[in-house]
Amino acid sequence: MKMKRVFYGVYLTAIVLTIIIHGLISQLYCGYVQRNTDLILARYHESLDYLNNKHFKNFRTIYIYNKGDILLESKLPKNSIVIPLENVGREGHSYLYHIIHQHNNLADHNIFLPASFESHPLKKQAVQYLFKNYPFSSYCFFGENFKKPIVEASFDFTIEHYACTNTENFHFNNDIKLKPADIRPYGLWLKNFFPNNNQNFQSACGIFAVNKQLILDNKMELYIALFKELNDHHNPEAGHYMERSWAALFNNQNKLEYAQLNNKTMV
């Protein structure tokens, strides 16, 4: 278990240096949020005290998909909505639930975050960077850029055990055994759901932002099929496949434009 946590920490140290960003650079976290921007949080048992930061009040709506203990809405920003969900599928399940059920009410701009980001320094750094630089024209992803398509670079990836890195969440779910994906390894899974995708970028951390049009560009049938992959177990291997595939989902044209900012690669 300790080895799994160490490995994940090393991996995150590597991938946080690569950021995909596209469009005009705008200020978000520093006192300004573009109008009609929603924040989508996937929560288990994490503290949400950070939502009382004044900058979070500028979102149109903060959707909190809650799979843990009951939240006192009186302690949350007034622009928050709490939606209780069964504890399955990790953050990917929450994100896809939002896309499916809010499909006709999407904000122009949408930021997706695991609620645990505050407890991990590198994830927190990634979110701060996103908040400062997310361009409201299209998208922003964090992950790793390979020298060849991810369907080749990560083709053989499988994972059978994973320990939650957030101590609060691990206390309530210390099961490290994963339910194997119906289609594996990752390369076969990727080809099944994204047969035409040939990009080199692999997303990570479940931290990203996309505009409304990119979400609407995909067929609802695809979102439902991906949702079903995550809808029957609290530790699905397919959740790790989905975490690596957000950029593939919202970038069907395989075109990523790169910019260098503060020694970080962004697309």
CA dist 50 and 250 (Å) reads: 28
Residue ranges of the chain whose pLDDT lies below 70: 1-35, 133-137, 161-176, 252-267
Q: Is residue 83 part of a domain?
A: yes
Total structural domains within the chain: 1
| pLDDT of res. 12 | 45
Q: Is residue 267 part of a domain?
A: no
| pLDDT of res. 128 | 81
| pLDDT of res. 68 | 87
Q: Is residue 264 part of a domain?
A: no
| pLDDT of res. 199 | 87
Q: What is the DSSP string of 5-66?
A: HHHHHHHHHHHTTEEEEES-----TTT---SSEEEEEEESS---GGGGSGGGGGSSEEEEEE
CA dist 200 and 188 (Å) reads: 16
Q: Is residue 261 part of a domain?
A: no
Which residues pair with residue 141 across a beta bridge?
Answer: 20, 208
CA dist 57 and 78 (Å) reads: 8
CA dist 65 and 159 (Å) reads: 25
| Domain housing 124 | 2-254
Nearest C-alpha neighbor of 89 from the set 99, 80, 77, 97: 97
* 174, amino acid identity: N
Q: Is residue 266 part of a domain?
A: no
Backbone conformation region of residue 25, classed left if phi is above 0, alpha if psi is from -120 to 50, else beta: beta
| pLDDT of res. 197 | 87
Q: Is residue 97 part of a domain?
A: yes
Q: Could you report the per-residue pLDDT of 200-215, keeping only the tens digit for each?
A: 889 988 999 999 999 9
| pLDDT of res. 7 | 32
Q: Is residue 138 part of a domain?
A: yes
Residue owning tokens 């809405």: 73
